[in-house]
Structure 1
Amino acid sequence: MKVWDWTYVWDAFPYLYRGAVVTVQATLLGFAIALTLGLAFALIRQSPNRYVSTAMAEVVEFIRATPLLLQVFFVYFVGPQFGIVIPSWTVGIGVLGIHYAAYCSEVYRSGIENVDGGQWEASIALNLSRIRTWRKIILPQAIPPIVPGLGNYFIGMFKDTPVLAAIAILEMLQQAKNFGSNNYRYIEAITLAGAFYLVFSLVASAMVQAVCIWLNRRYHVQ
């Protein structure tokens, strides 16, 4: 038997294409949720109300301290026992986004806390509203330095999408596995899936670096 057969490579492409579309969609949608919720979590952590900030900190730590797969299982399989029935795609995207939002919030928080406290004092002296201070002064200084950290989580989320196969979402690795089980031939499909993950990660890394350069020029970050 051949170690590598190009016939199986071409036959595997339709499987991998369908899986790749699902994988990319899950990553992009999940990360959009993570970026938005992560920023919200970080801002709530900055609340002057000690009880609110502490409660948010505990929620973030709870999410970070429990495995992603456990969270997916709990929402999808335990939820229906309490009358909460959510489609698998919604569960997958939502849990991915919320899980990584907890990590992104810590990245946002580090950037926010790195902004010189004098910026707040200057904003108060200029009688700027709190919302305008955040939007015009704090976030433009906080976000550019943390883009590499956020980019790492984007790539990490992409590599975590195979977890979604546990709730019957046929992402790329599961499609490669399905092809292998249908044809009793795994090496070609699994190798191609691995190559796609590698290429996507390298391209995403290059894009993050390009965004960093653009932001540094725009905001004159040293």
Structure 2
Amino acid sequence: MMFGIEWDTTNNWLFAASILPILLRGMVVTLQATVVGFLIAAVLGLILAALKAARLRIISWPARLFTEFVRDTPLLAQLFFLYYVLPEYGIVLPAFLTGALALGLQYSAYTSEVYRAGIESVARGQTEAACALDIPPLRTFGTIIVPQAIPRIIPALGNYLVSIMKDVPILSVVSVIEMLSVAKIIGDRTFNYLVPLSMVGALYLVMTLIAAAGVRYLDRRLPKQGIPLR
């Protein structure tokens, strides 16, 4: 018995119906980790892209080194570092937040390159015109460059959103009970792995298809000449 449900593996359909509510609870954790991790990656990636574009090497080089280090080291190693090493220095984070932070840090290195490509795709004359009008560089970046770059990189950012979603099961190593972990627990308790793992695969397929459809919708709706700011 698990979570108050007695498993009956003689009928796979009844078995699937009985475990669906538990898998859906795990799916909520998966979606939460995906959203939080993606938000961290999107915001930090933009900050890193801005820092790497700075003319002063004392600003751009640390950002470049951070990006290369994060991109060239395994996500699992970074997750273990955040979860097991930081507490030795008095920084203790909940398992879920640690996992989402690890995902966000890992993918911020990739999204920063996506932002860089989008920023470089904006005509240089935009920056020159803003400089001629005596618009401060920070305002130029935030209100002129970024709104024009974002619509051009939506598909690439969407790909990383789906990738983050599929990497969430790694968080189970620090006791985050997401959807795949729930399926494994059910399989361990009932000795029936086929049904829960098949259901997880189907649920992941549904989630990724919905995410991809949302990205395509944004890509069609956002004006390629830039997001109007009011």
TM bin, normalised by shorter chain, reads: over 0.9
Q: CA deviation at 1:207?
A: 0.4
Aligned to 1:102: 109
Q: CA deviation at 1:124?
A: 0.9
Q: In the alignment, residue 33 of structure 1 is paired with which amino acid?
A: I
Q: In the alignment, residue 25 of structure 1 is paired with which amino acid?
A: Q
Deviations 1:45-84 (A, max 9, x none): 1112112101110100100101111111111122233333
Q: In the alignment, residue 61 of structure 1 is paired with which amino acid?
A: E
In structure 2, distance between residues paired with 1:4 and 1:42: 54
1:70-219 → structure 2 map (5 Å cutoff)? 70-216=77-223, 219=226
Aligned to 1:11: 18
Q: From 31, 34, 42, give the equivalent of 1:27.
A: 34
Q: What runs of 5+ residues in structure 1 fail to find an aligned partner?
A: none
In structure 2, distance between residues paired with 1:146 and 1:6: 43
Q: Determine helix, strand or coil for the equivalent of 1:216.
A: coil
Q: Determine helix, strand or coil for the equivalent of 1:194.
A: helix
Quote the RMSD (CA, aligned, Å).
Answer: 1.7
TM-score, normalised with respect to structure 1: 0.93
Structure-2 change in CA distance of 1:115 and 1:188 (3 Å): same
Aligned to 1:37: 44
Q: In the alignment, residue 30 of structure 2 is paired with which amino acid?
A: T
Higher relative contact order (CA 8 A, sep 6+): 1
Preserved contact between residue 26 and residue 179 of structure 2 (Cα < 8 Å): yes
Deviations 1:115-168 (A, max 9, x none): 121111111111111122112221121111111000000000000000010000
User: How many positions carry a matched residue from both structures?
Assistant: 219
Deviations 1:74-123 (A, max 9, x none): 11122233333222112111111111111111100111112121111111
Q: In the alignment, residue 223 of structure 2 is paired with which amino acid?
A: N
In structure 1, distance between residues paired with 2:94 and 2:226: 42
Q: Which has the higher helix share?
A: 1
Q: From 61, 64, 68, give the equivalent of 1:57.
A: 64
Preserved contact between residue 88 and residue 168 of structure 1 (Cα < 8 Å): yes
Preserved contact between residue 176 and residue 186 of structure 1 (Cα < 8 Å): yes
Q: From 27, 36, 53, give the equivalent of 1:46.
A: 53
Q: What runs of 5+ residues in structure 2 fail to find an aligned partner?
A: 1-8
Aligned to 2:74: 67
